[in-house]
């Protein structure tokens, strides 16, 4: 992928992957074409904001920052998938009490 993006080194690609640097527009367009991702995927507004609304089933003191981040990412993806499917599928209303 580094060669196809014409990057100088693997560290640059790693920085993009780990959100430590933002690729310039021409590199981003190459990535979109290589991965066949739509333009909107990279430029849509975030509808989910992480915070203290995530429930952990372990004591927060014993949960590592890495594990918390992993769960935040999983929950964000689940919300995105649900939001997408909600436009296609008529989900029944939940009658659970909060």
38 close to 28: Cβ distance less than 8 angstroms: no
Distance from C-alpha of 22 to C-alpha of 9, rounded to nearest angstrom: 15
30 vs 35: CA distance, rounded Å: 9
Confidence of residue 54 (pLDDT cuts 50, 70, 90): low
Cβ-contact 71, 54 below 8 angstroms = yes
What domain count does the chain have?
2
Is the model's pLDDT at 5 over the cut of 70?
yes
Residues near 63 by beta carbon (within 8 Å), at least 6 away in sequence: 56
Q: Are residues 35 and 60 in the same domain?
A: no
Handedness of CA 30, 33, 39, 44 (dihedral sign): negative
Judge if 39 and 62 occupy the same domain. Answer: no
Q: Whole-structure pTM over 0.75, yes or no?
A: no
Q: Are residues 35 and 59 in the same domain?
A: no
Whether 57 and 80 share a structural domain: yes
Check pLDDT > 60 for residue 50.
no
């Amino acid at each position: 992928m580094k060669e196809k993006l014409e990057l100088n080194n693997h560290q640059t690609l790693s920085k993009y992957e780990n959100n430590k640097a933002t690729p310039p527009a021409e590199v981003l367009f190459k990535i979109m074409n290589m991965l066949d991702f739509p333009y909107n995927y990279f430029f849509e507004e975030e509808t989910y904001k992480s915070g203290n609304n995530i429930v952990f089933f372990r004591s927060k003191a014993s949960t590592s920052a890495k594990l918390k981040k992993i769960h935040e990412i999983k929950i964000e993806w689940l919300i995105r998938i649900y939001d997408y499917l909600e436009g296609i599928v008529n989900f029944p209303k939940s009658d659970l009490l909060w």
